[in-house]
Structure 1
């Protein structure tokens, strides 16, 4: 029915559930589509129409789903959401849109495909605990020293891991996506770092917001002095951390699959924080992650005068303290004399 008005996705899902109400699989289908409904609510996309759901949209949904652990009705975190569970939701959504297409509600069939079961059956939705996060920091701070290695050679090894250390700090303290961590800058012209109120705008001045919203977040006190002491420019530095991160994955035997790359830090902190915040306060976690937009206002100071995200900040600082116990110097390391070049964009 070409020329018909766009069909709301929520209507497509509702009508599909009605059509399968007598099937034995109704309970599982309802649970799978409930994940999609939660995504639409938490990311404020209830006005999504069937024709807008493409591969990019589905990739965003997958990212969100892997960042949100399974929670009981009592608010207890039960565990990580598996890749198979996520694809079950994608598969159910595809069926709902195709059902709407068959009814004539929309002229478009599903414009995406769910991954095959054998593509995700061996893929863990891995999360790092405090001990493993501490190992990552120790990898940067305390690399093994080969017999006979000179001080100069060892210093080069430490310097090589310095950008990764900074990436870990920013990722843990702000819960941000990797691309946002690379963009963190102390350059006043970018209007990101507000030291007087300990606020960090993850979206720099002049960069349009996208569907992967970058919020303004409070900065854990453990990171504040590092940002204050950093030279003007990009905090992580101009060098890529890709090779160093992959080396860390190998040495720490982290899973090497599509779900445990640099986003692992963000997802791990989200899981740790959610169990500590509880469901009543998890809205602050959603705002830290950029899943829920606090306000359209550009007045950063006004938000922070009201004690913006104080519970999420307290939990973040608690997590950092626990990491520090197992990896001394992760955040409280001396901030002077670091051999790192600043001023260029991290690739």
Structure 2
């Protein structure tokens, strides 16, 4: 039998467990004899944000010849294009029954049909023109594996990204929104909040989402960010289609 290894749990993880335990007690009609602390008071928000050059370095790493990093590259593309959380990026699926990808309006619903929205709301967002061909070419799950975490962690080490929770897989979401906020300006940042799912879009019309009055300004800024990444890492968003030879 392997020796037991004690694992140190983060304060936020411990408090989350207590919150769930307290909820279970209340569901059983029992008032818990202990109090809980809001997790936001215990969790330290990561401060590190990647700039365009660092984002481009990630793409260059994922495009390294003779290395099988295709799924990491897919993750990077989707994360930059949508500003989505890692779990939502992994859930992107173009099958019609999922009702996520709407090719006519170029809109992507990050929440699959039938999945209940949670506190971490998944937005419906317009898709940057550079990412549209990738979704058009996909035949089901955009990322065909359950997780690219191991590939991400190998990249963190290779690129010497900050560790200790500063550069986890949500780094793309934090970094792209940080860059976009400066370019959008505070008067239009509500569109950034909509992209992040922190503010629900005011329209349910998919064709209206790309309009500048809704999410069109955030879309334009995202496309500009992608153009900057492509300049620094040529091929970052280039779609390569392998054709069968007769």
Provide Cα deviations, 1:174-201, integer angstroms capped at 9, x if missing partner: 0000000000011011000011111000
Residue of structure 1 in register with 2:227 after alignment: 321
Flag structure 2 segments of 5+ consecutive residues without an equivalent: 1-13, 17-32
1:310 offset after TM fit, Å?
0.5
1:300 offset after TM fit, Å?
3.2
Tell me if 1:229 matches 2:137: yes
Runs of 4+ deviating beyond 6 Å: none
Instruction: For 2:46 and 2:145, locate their aligned partners in 1 and report how far apart those are by CA, in whole Å.
Output: 32
Tell me if 1:269 matches 2:176: yes
With over 3 angstroms needed to count, the CA separation of the structure-2 counterparts of 1:302 and 1:268, relative to structure 1, is closer
With over 3 angstroms needed to count, the CA separation of the structure-2 counterparts of 1:305 and 1:112, relative to structure 1, is closer
Residue of structure 2 in register with 1:185 after alignment: 93
Aligned ranges 1:282-321 → 2 under 5 Å: 282-295=189-202, 297=204, 299-301=205-207, 303=209, 308-321=214-227
With over 3 angstroms needed to count, the CA separation of the structure-2 counterparts of 1:224 and 1:303, relative to structure 1, is closer
1:242 offset after TM fit, Å?
1.2
Instruction: For 1:337 and 1:246, locate their aligned partners in 2 and report how far apart those are by CA, in whole Å.
Output: 29
Instruction: For 2:46 and 2:99, locate their aligned partners in 1 and report how far apart those are by CA, in whole Å.
Output: 38
Select 1:163's aligned residue among 56, 71, 74: 71
Instruction: For 2:80 and 2:185, locate their aligned partners in 1 and report how far apart those are by CA, in whole Å.
Output: 19
| Aligned length in residues | 215
Select 1:134's aligned residue among 40, 50, 56: 56
Instruction: For 1:240 and 1:182, locate their aligned partners in 2 and report how far apart those are by CA, in whole Å.
Output: 7
Query: What's the TM-score once normalised by structure 2's chain length?
Result: 0.79
3-state DSSP of counterpart to 2:192? helix
Tell me if 1:202 matches 2:110: yes
Residue pair 2:125, 2:209 contacting (<8 A) in 1 also: no
Instruction: For 1:208 and 1:236, locate their aligned partners in 2 and report how far apart those are by CA, in whole Å.
Output: 21
With over 3 angstroms needed to count, the CA separation of the structure-2 counterparts of 1:268 and 1:305, relative to structure 1, is closer
Aligned ranges 1:1-347 → 2 under 5 Å: 55-56=15-16, 111-112=37-38, 114-115=41-42, 125-143=47-65, 154=66, 157=67, 160-230=68-138, 232-295=139-202, 297=204, 299-301=205-207, 303=209, 308-332=214-238, 334-337=239-242
Query: What's the TM-score once normalised by structure 1's chain length?
Result: 0.57
Identify the structure with bigger relative contact order (alpha carbons < 8 Å, sequence gap 6+).
2
Instruction: For 1:272 and 1:302, locate their aligned partners in 2 and report how far apart those are by CA, in whole Å.
Output: 24
Q: Which has the higher helix share?
A: 1
Residue pair 1:163, 1:239 contacting (<8 A) in 2 also: no
Residue pair 1:284, 1:311 contacting (<8 A) in 2 also: yes
Instruction: For 2:169 and 2:46, locate their aligned partners in 1 and report how far apart those are by CA, in whole Å.
Output: 15
Instruction: For 1:258 and 1:226, locate their aligned partners in 2 and report how far apart those are by CA, in whole Å.
Output: 30
